[in-house]
Amino acid sequence: MKDRINVGIIGFGTVGSGAARILINNADIIKRRLGIPVVLKKMADLDIKKDRGIKLDKDVLTTDAAKILDDPDIDIVIELIGGYEPAKSFILKAIERGKCVVTSNKALLAVHGEEIFHIAASKGVDIGFEGSVGGGIPIIRILKEGLAANNILSIYGIINGTSNYILTKMTNEGRAFGDVLSEAQRLGYAEADLTFDIEGIDSAHKLTILTTLAFGTPVKFDNIYTEGITRITPLDIEYAKEFGYKIKLLAISKMDNGQIEARVHPTMVPNEYLISTVEGVFNAIYVAGDAVGDTMYYGRGAGDMPTGSAITSDIIEIARNIITNSVGRVPPPAFQLKERKELKIKKMDDIVCPFYLRFMAMDRPSVLSKISGILGEHNISIASMIQKGRKEDGAVSVVMMTHEAKEKDVQGALAKIDKLPVIADKTMFIRVEGEV
Ligand code: HSE
């Protein structure tokens, strides 16, 4: 019987500091839950001089990750440096040496997760990645265990705090996108490359992981349609309000007749949907299952302590598996690898939903009939319409909500409408959730 679980953390950044702080400050509660202590034996970072406000013994800190990977006494390696390399090599080396791994590296898992899961299975080690999606919200464990009895039907997530913060400020304070951008960055939640947040890439990384777990299928990150929030203007936010909606960057994944819809894009969500009330850097994930019905999970989606909480929960789970000789008890992708099925991701062209359309049209007779004529030719039916203002140059906003329409039809119609001489600017479109 082991008398302790030794862990080594690679990466003493924001998330690494959170995990270390929790392992030290909550050592007692962790020991009481586990029966034996978890010991932070080594912590590696290129910069070990910086004061992170955490007291560690001198011999714990090292600049050399190999001191963790090569230490036969370390049971669990925690990779918190992010990015593809050297993170992937560190993880594979740890697995090769029979060590279990914890990581919150969503980009790495979205792109190389399949390879890592298969190698881990062949070596009989556990991989924990609770911190990769939703920060402190235990959504990975919910999909792997809490909802294991269900056929998952759909997932709708606000899983990027930075873009939700920007949209919230634009909505509540009427500020422009560029105005709020640097403020969001100052909060410290943004990715090293901010385009990952505002172009939807971070959400798509996370949706790749959630979809893989929910539907028991290997999902390729590249197959997820990804659109960010940079096109959204205060004008559209105002019109959305008039129609009774909020604009949110949603990550959507659902099962539809044996195919999966998996997409990230700004979405108009009815005010009465709980997820439309999620503000600031908070995350929320709605999951529907055939047995459980509707469920929703809410919490801090980023930050040192929430993500540290998720990482430490993985350490505790894996430690329990080590103690009880049951490593591999729950397969990392939530299904037995050999039981998974290759499911097709539906083409974006085939997606069906209501659309918000904002045309910038010259205020002249017959403009509306031209627009509605083209929409009609493409099987798009208008549910409601607003026309506002008259600019000096004569262009006005003509805003419509359509009934459910096929993406391909909408894109085809807009391509034609945008070529009309009476259209002054590219038409804005936003996909809509719920019945119009
Ligand atoms: N950049 C991410 C966000 C951090 O804003 O949500 C958490 O994954």
Longest dimension (CA), the chain: 85
Distance CA 228, CA 239 (A): 19
101 near 74, Cβ under 8 Å?
A: no
Q: Which of 360, 414, 358 is nearest to 391 (CA)?
A: 360
User: Which of 191, 207, 282, 311 maximizes ligand 1 atoms within 8 Å of its Cβ, making it the mutation to test the pocket?
Assistant: 191
Which pLDDT score is estimated for 60?
97
Check pLDDT > 80 for residue 392: no
Check pLDDT > 70 for residue 273: yes
DSSP annotation of 104: -
Check pLDDT > 90 for residue 327: yes
Question: What integer is the mean pLDDT of 39-61?
Answer: 94
Average pLDDT, the chain: 96
Q: List pocket residues of ligand 1, CB cut-off 6 Å.
A: 135, 160-162, 189-191, 197, 202, 301-302
Which pLDDT score is estimated for 58?
86
3 state DSSP class of 262: strand
Check pLDDT > 80 for residue 68: yes
- Residue 382 alpha carbon to ligand 1 centre in Å: 37
pTM: 0.97
131 near 106, Cβ under 8 Å?
A: no
Which pLDDT score is estimated for 390?
62
The residue length of the chain stands at 436
Task: Report percent pLDDT > 70 for the chain.
Answer: 99
Question: What integer is the mean pLDDT of 250-276?
Answer: 97
Question: What integer is the mean pLDDT of 359-383?
Answer: 93
Distance CA 38, CA 41 (A): 9
